[in-house]
Amino acid sequence: MSTFVAIDFETANQNPESACAIGLVRVVGGKIEETEHFLIRPPSRWFVFTGLHGIGWPDVEAEPGFAELWPKIDQWLDGADFLAAHNARFDRGVMDACCAAAAVEPPALPWACTVQLARSMWNVRPTRLPDVCRYLAIPLNHHQALSDARACAEIVIAAQEDGWVF
């Protein structure tokens, strides 16, 4: 089995560079090895999604910005075969926008999307993260970045156990 990192971003507002939290889950050989959660100070104080994830400017104003945090995030990705995210287009867009704003190269790793995986492996519909977690009996505290990333990792592990190969 491969090594991968499941990622989930929470954003302050509709701007993709407004990441305010990231959850990271490293999986090696089908087992969760490490987890990490970072709060991120976005480039603006404008928060729209506080009601969704519970994070506001007072929670992040003293936290590092993405550029300061990037060396730690990049270290987490070292040795991974791929990245996984639920609705990977969103998380990849946030990663790319934050990397561009920080003037760093985004990871060159391929991304696996657990929305697509749940549809193709088990024909789960709808494929919102709570729906897939309910189908696979995975605990979830939705819109908490580490819980979402952990759930994503568990979805990939379940798919690998059912024969999926990246």
User: Is 121 inside any structural domain?
Assistant: yes
User: Is 53 inside any structural domain?
Assistant: yes
CA dist., res. 105 & res. 94, Å (int): 13
User: Is 93 inside any structural domain?
Assistant: yes
Find out whether 81 and 53 touch, Cβ atoms under 8 Å. Answer: no
The reported pLDDT for the residue numbered 166 is 87
Number of separate domains in the chain:
1
User: Is 166 inside any structural domain?
Assistant: no
The reported pLDDT for the residue numbered 25 is 98
User: Is 60 inside any structural domain?
Assistant: yes
User: Is 72 inside any structural domain?
Assistant: yes
**pLDDT tens figures, 11-27:** 999 999 999 999 999 99
Residue spans of beta strands (DSSP E) within 68-128:
82-85, 111-113
Q: Is 51 exposed, middle or buried (0-12, 13-18, 19+ CB in 10 A)?
A: exposed
CATH of the domain at 68: 3.30.420.10
The reported pLDDT for the residue numbered 21 is 98
Find out whether 18 and 44 touch, Cβ atoms under 8 Å. Answer: yes
Its pTM surpasses 0.75 = yes
Domain residues for the domain of 79 are: 3-161
Residue 1 pLDDT > 80: no
User: Is 111 inside any structural domain?
Assistant: yes
User: Is 85 inside any structural domain?
Assistant: yes
**pLDDT tens figures, 99-154:** 999 999 999 999 999 999 999 999 999 999 999 999 999 999 999 999 999 999 99
